[in-house]
Amino acid sequence: MYSMQFVNLVQVIYHLIAEQNPYSATRWLDTAPVIKRQSLHEQVVLINRYWREELGMLTIDTTKLRLQLSDDTEPNAWLSNFEQYLIPFILTYHLPFRKG
């Protein structure tokens, strides 16, 4: 797992997506929340808000997936959940839909 002293979670997610879909990864960077020196908790909250909105725009039920986006999860556990649940979904549906 990642050392979580100061990590830019937008960049971590970018690399996870880019391994399999560079186009989706680039769209993510173009539309992701801006991370400067926010705490890990603040980053998680911003990223969760982004993905809840993105998932909410789909015409399929994403309730269970959105529940995985907990603002109160320890950062390593949050990232593990994101990698396990969200990344496969992002890749399957070629998310994000937003354009930068």
Provide the 10 A C-beta neighbour count for residue 64: 8
User: Domain for residue 3, yes or no?
Assistant: no
CA angle 61, 23, 64 (to 5 degrees): 20
pLDDT digits (tens, 9 = 90+) for 33-88: 998 889 999 999 999 999 999 999 999 999 999 999 999 999 999 999 999 999 99
User: Domain for residue 22, yes or no?
Assistant: yes
Instruction: Say what angle helices 40-56 and 9-18 make with each other, to 10 degrees.
Output: 50
* Number of domains within the chain: 1
Task: For residue 73, give both structure tokens.
Answer: 């999860």
Compute the average pLDDT of residues 6-13. Answer: 93
User: Domain for residue 77, yes or no?
Assistant: yes
Task: For residue 27, give both structure tokens.
Answer: 């769209």
| Distance separating alpha carbons of residues 25 and 37, to the nearest angstrom | 22
| Range of the structural domain that residue 28 is part of | 9-92
User: Domain for residue 15, yes or no?
Assistant: yes
User: Domain for residue 40, yes or no?
Assistant: yes
Compute the average pLDDT of residues 24-36. Answer: 94
User: Domain for residue 72, yes or no?
Assistant: yes
User: Domain for residue 2, yes or no?
Assistant: no
> What is the reported pTM?
0.91
User: Domain for residue 4, yes or no?
Assistant: no
